[in-house]
Structure 1
């Protein structure tokens, strides 16, 4: 949305909150009427959970379902818990199986079984087939409702299948072609079907298929889908039988969530999974406090280093002036390296096996940056204070940048190697570690150069 549209939605949100507080629901409903679906989604993201539930009840049934499907799973979860049981049961039943699983992953454990019991046997079975896969597997994000065809089928037969399955299928634009054992032998696009005659055989129209195993990592498969530009990717089980399909919109949704999580964890917070303005204060506090405690404990390393070299600082108090500069430069250098490597890992450009190549490159990058900053620090500190002080600052900047870039480059690779999210190992931990290491380097160089 444009800034102007966002300002308009903000004004509407303020108006609706005031109308709800006064109990004037008729006027509130009138204020919602001109808004389209994306605007209503943005509006709900700006309201409290209680006000959002009231607004949702004011929407017409058809608009309400469209809005609900466009919300993030976290916001859906909040809304579900604020609505009445009858409304929840209806909404849950009208969702696609894969969307239900997204929502279930956000709901309290006590709520999900009750919702599943309210489904028809067919919908419960479809949802259970997706829920059976582990949390990070692509099988948990696929749609099990797929229209298939066979090599020996004709275009006319296939089009009749498509029309019959329009109400349930996740996509009709790419159809998997399977053999008698439900093994994928190719795919055929709706464009090719529409361009062919009814008597043409599917075997003459189908092309080779890219497939993914249901147990593969969801982010990896989603990125592969977008990189290949596929509208849909068939998902198969361990016996190569078709079990579902991943559509391009679901792939984009997976990547958006993963990137949001990485960005949050690199900043030292847990991802919110819902709009900031609609997130309760206690949840914001909970998302940050654990990381702050961890980093506070880690910062005691820096305090310990300063205590160890207290005598050195007492003999040359000017050294204390440069501590913020040095640890700040080291932390920033390490964070830059970690961010670059984490992104390359996510894009599949490197793997943990490339640790030597990455370390070699980051050492050279860090050394180059250190020499540039070190020369600048040497000149400025030498002119303002003393050339011996300038030499200490120059050498320290060179060493700190080299060490920080190296650590920042290999930590995400180490995290991936031990099956931990690389973002968790990135900025906060690197900053804490490099602060302590940088101070040790600084005081050791100062003692050697200044003879103290």
Structure 2
């Protein structure tokens, strides 16, 4: 985005020169216009949005994050709001309604056409976090008894209001899914051939399945659309690849934020109020501060040991830092493997054994370096303490870091919650205990 042009737009807004602002904004393409809207305060965002041509405004609205859509609706007139909500796809509309106050959401639903109300109600009927909540009920379904010519006509009749026509589900007489046909195959086949002869087996997902699991499957199978069925294999919607990408992006953002000890912002950073950023971090910091008291308590318990050999305190940051980093590496690796489906909760034994071996090898490398480096400067007894501690801490940290995400998954808790911050706190305290016990044994303290 052209910084100088953006500054001229902001200056035009301050001076209420709306004609100048409109001319500048229209010099950009849709992506830059959306980026500008995301960076503006709510009041200015509404002004700039009203200056966009109707078609451009509708496209820009769909691209905004859901919280920003909600803020924009509160700043627009009722007529504009109803038009925007009506133009959204049912799955996008449900996400927007979830962001709005209940009374506002009900009022917007009432103004929708009966057909749009039914489609929206179908999606809203599924639990939050399920693929049913993210699917689109607007699809073109073919009857297996159709000829290819009839199928083409059915696609053309719905081409303007369907979410996608590149992957076409085929239903039997009871509206159960019996296969899928690609648009390319449909166009390349003789018109008199029956659709039943060209369909292929469909990969499906049940509507109550987790949205992230369904999105991952859509990505793994490289599907343009994943059919969503109910408990009787009747088709209720489709998850398109772009919606699957949105789900995976949200999951990735959530995992990254929680691994770093914060809650996801769920909106662009520059448009997030400072208070919201503080709220996303403060709870985690308080929890970690309470956890850090374990480290303080350990130091109090071994205070006498430190007084006898003050040099031991010099290496505390090295040891707890190494342990925390080792545990974080293991947790990040296993959490990612969980997301990709490479490991499952039942693999906890195999993962623990593997990470124990990884930790032992890492600890042997670091411990040897610690033994030689510290031994040459502070004496071989102190070097032995540091080497053995590094070996033990690496084994402990890698094992705990690898197991904790699997335990979280078994408890149906987000694995990222049990990741880096909590592992660091745990390893800090346990690593110090190991350190002082080894020092007491080797040095006779």
> Displacement of 1:110 after TM fit?
4.1
Stretch moving more, 226-235 or 105-114: 105-114
Q: Is the 8 A contact 1:146 1:244 kept in 2?
A: yes
- Corresponding residue for 2:323? 330
Q: Separation in 1 of the partners of 2:332 and 2:101? A: 33
Residues 330-373 of structure 1 deviation map (CA, whole Å, 9 limit, x = unaligned): 11100000000000000001100000100000000011101100
State the distance in 2 between where 1:321 and 1:107 align. 54
Is contact 1:48–1:277 with CA below 8 Å preserved after alignment? no
1:90 matched to 2:83? The reply is yes
Alignment of 1:356-375 (within 5 A): 356-375=349-368
Q: CA deviation at 1:136?
A: 1.3
* Deviation sequence 1:388-418 (CA, Å, 0-9, x none): 1111111111111110000100000000001
Rounded to whole Å, the distance in 1 between the matches of 2:307 and 2:102 is 58
Shift in alpha-carbon separation, 1:108–1:376, aligned structure 2, 3 A:
farther
Matched, 1:398 2:365: no
Residue 253 (structure 2) pairs with residue 260 (structure 1): yes
> What's 1:3 paired with?
none
Indicate which of 72, 76, 79 corresponds to 1:79.
Answer: 72
Gaps of 5+ in 2: none
Q: After alignment, is 426-435 or 66-75 more displaced?
A: 66-75
Aligned residue pairs: how many? 445
**Which of 210, 220, 227 is 1:227 aligned to?**
220
CA deviations over 1:212-232 (Å, ceiling 9, x no partner): 110111111111111111111
Q: Secondary structure at 1:111's aligned position in 2?
A: helix
Q: Aligned residue for 2:403?
A: 410
Q: Say if 2:92 is the partner of 1:117.
A: no
Residue of structure 1 aligned with 2:138, choices 142, 145, 161: 145
Equivalent positions of 1:178-327 (< 5 A) are: 178-327=171-320
Instruction: Indicate if the aligned counterparts of 1:13 and 1:47 stay in contact, CA closer than 8 A.
Output: no
Separation in 2 of the partners of 1:110 and 1:284? 27
**Separation in 1 of the partners of 2:411 and 2:74?**
37
Out of 107-116 and 133-142, give the one that drifted further: 107-116
Specify which of 351, 355, 376 is matched with residue 369 of structure 2.
376
Whole-Å separation in 2 of the counterparts to 1:368 and 1:324? 21
CA distance in 1, matches of 2:328, 2:77: 47
Q: Is the 8 A contact 1:154 1:202 kept in 2?
A: yes
Aligned to 1:388, which of 381, 389, 413?
A: 381
Per-residue CA deviation, residues 122-152 of structure 1 (Å, 9 max, x unaligned), is: 1111101001111111000000011111121
Deviation by residue 1:259-298 (Cα, 9 ceiling, x = unmatched): 0110111011111111101111111111111111111111
Change (3 A) 1:109 1:309: farther
Q: Which residue of 2 aligns with 1:61?
A: 54
Q: Name the CA distance, whole Å, in 1 between partners of 2:309 and 2:101.
A: 58
CA contact (8 A) 1:150 1:178 kept: yes
Partners in 1 of 2:405 and 2:102 — Cα distance?
32
Query: Structure 1, residues 177-206: CA drift from partner, whole Å, max 9, x if none?
Result: 001111001111110111123212101111
SS in structure 2 opposite 1:207? coil
Deviations 1:143-169 (A, max 9, x none): 001111112101111111111112211
In 1, Cα distance between equivalents of 2:44 and 2:282: 27
Is the aligned partner of 1:16 residue 2:25?
no
- Structure 2: distance between partners of 1:439 and 1:168: 63
Structure 1 position 111, deviation (Å): 3.0
CA distance in 1, matches of 2:64, 2:421: 30
Corresponding residue of 1:161: 154
Q: Deviations over 1:82-131 (max 9, x none)?
A: 33333222111110101112222333444322222221121111101001
SS at match of 1:185: strand
SS of residue matched to 2:342? coil
By how many angstroms is 1:11 displaced? 3.7
- RMSD of the TM alignment (CA)? 1.2
Deviation at 1:71, TM superposition (A): 1.7
State the TM-score, normalized to the length of structure 1: 0.96
Please report the TM-score for the alignment, with normalisation by the length of structure 2: 0.98
Contact 1:13 1:46 in 2 (8 A): no
Q: Which residue of 1 aligns with 2:442?
A: 449
Residue 422 (1) aligns with residue 434 (2)? no
Whole-angstrom distance in 1 between the partners of 2:380 and 2:18: 74
Residues in 2 aligned to 1:109 and 1:327: alpha-carbon distance in whole angstroms: 49
Residue 439 of structure 1, CA deviation = 0.8
List structure 1 segments (4+ residues) > 4 angstroms apart after TM superposition. Answer: none
For residues 109 and 340 of structure 1, the distance between their equivalents in structure 2, rounded to whole angstroms, comes to: 41
Report the Cα distance in structure 1 between the residues aligned to 2:280 and 2:101, rounded to whole angstroms: 17
SS in 2 for 1:186: strand
